[in-house]
Structure 1
Amino acid sequence: MSGTEAADMRTAEYPRPSHFVLHLSDVAASLGAQVIWAMGNHDDRGNFRTELLGQEPSYEPIDHVYDVDGLRIITLDTTVPGYHYGEISDSQLIWLAQQLAVPAPHGTILALHHPPVPCVLDLAVLVELRDQPRLADVLRGSDVRSILAGHLHYSTTATFAGIPVSVASATCYTQDLNVPAGALRGRDGAQGFNLVHVYPETVVHSVVPIGSYDTVGEYVTAEETARRLADEGVRIPDAGDPAVTPVRV
């Protein structure tokens, strides 16, 4: 979760503990998955630590390193309390460089809220990540395979220091990129999230729209898919299999 989850965790709207957090934890447990949180510009560091991390409240940056079967995931706090733009302090950059000094077995995914990409909406320049070249200096030549971010409220991709960047849209409101140049309009539509598949030699980022839509053509069940693949002698490797692409057997 790349930010903006816990801003009002102790208000009446989000009773403690948050129903959203409990529900998401249940879903993750059913999938055998781990929920990893990153700070967003609407989040409060004290509440974030208390409600999501089970820690004592503190207003220091929330940076963490996770190991998921040899894949290192680093969450970097780009927030500035009381403001909406992003910034990374000198001490954070030093800490990040120390973490990346030794490569992880399967590389690193960096998750942060403010994406290190140009903003295509003029007014959004005011809330972008500042001093991006300093972050690039730390990341260039490291084992970071992908950068995951949010904040912009529209889906976009780019490269940064030679690393793919995947920006998820939002599940609340999104930005309308059809507006005239220089304008800005939030809208209640086109919500979505990103689905990320990490393979040995590549990382695939897919945009998943949220909504219910009419079926076009044939609906094929998982069981029918398995049967058709078996008929063609095709096996799709399970997670953790060293193969990347479907193979014929």
Structure 2
Amino acid sequence: MKMTKFVLMSALAGFFCTGMGFAAAPANYQNFELDTLLHNIEKPGEPIVTEDYIIFTANTNNRSVGIAFDFENYQVIHPFQVLSNTDDEGVSTRKHLFYCYQRQHRFDTLKYRLVIDGLWTTDPLNPNKEYDNQVNLYFSKLENLGQIKIETEATSNDTVKFIYKGESGLKLNLAGTFTNWDPWIYQLEEIQPGLYELELPLTSGTYYYNYYLGLTPILDNTNPEKIYTADGRSASVIRVN
């Protein structure tokens, strides 16, 4: 009886799942959970959703497959890789194509499109689709993913995570009553295209703040609580308990 083993085959061998795709690592990587998920996939099908990962699959009769997400404004195409099984005689068989997204931000709903052999399309293995009248296109959709709000909020240990969603490539600063409105002390980091974050320790209290592009103030578009300060400016409000 032949013994088989599974290997990941790609243009760059020996990859593992990261926040936005795959990164180089030894072929015998130690991520047991992901390894088990991948090797338990018998055939391509609907996306597999776990607390930490979303795994997309495609048939191996496609020469190449990529995926683009709505939260990146479909500006980045992430390539699928090949999962193959190899028997004890070294004969390799292509099992299926896959892409693994590690869930850094848990959107309740995720829309995406595939690029199969150079053509943009929906996911043929996911029956859930949505038509967008503005662009006259169908998009594949995943729902009820378990939402973690993407918004500015006070977290544990007297820390506030400041969030901004907008165009990619901005140099976005943060200022408020905790900086005496100095807009040059703190800069947000673009962790994904158009999604900016900064974690800042703040003691208990109520704070007013704005984001800044140069000297131009911008209200926090993820925080609905706003005020007008005594000097007439608009500002966002965060309360740390």
Question: After TM superposition, is the score higher than 0.5?
Answer: no
With structure 1 as the length reference, what TM-score do the two structures score? 0.27
Q: Write 1 or 2 for the structure with the bigger share of strand.
A: 2
Q: Write 1 or 2 for the structure with the bigger share of helix.
A: 1
When Rg is computed on C-alpha atoms for both structures, the one with the higher figure is: 2
Q: Which has the higher contact order (CA 8 A, sep 6+)?
A: 2
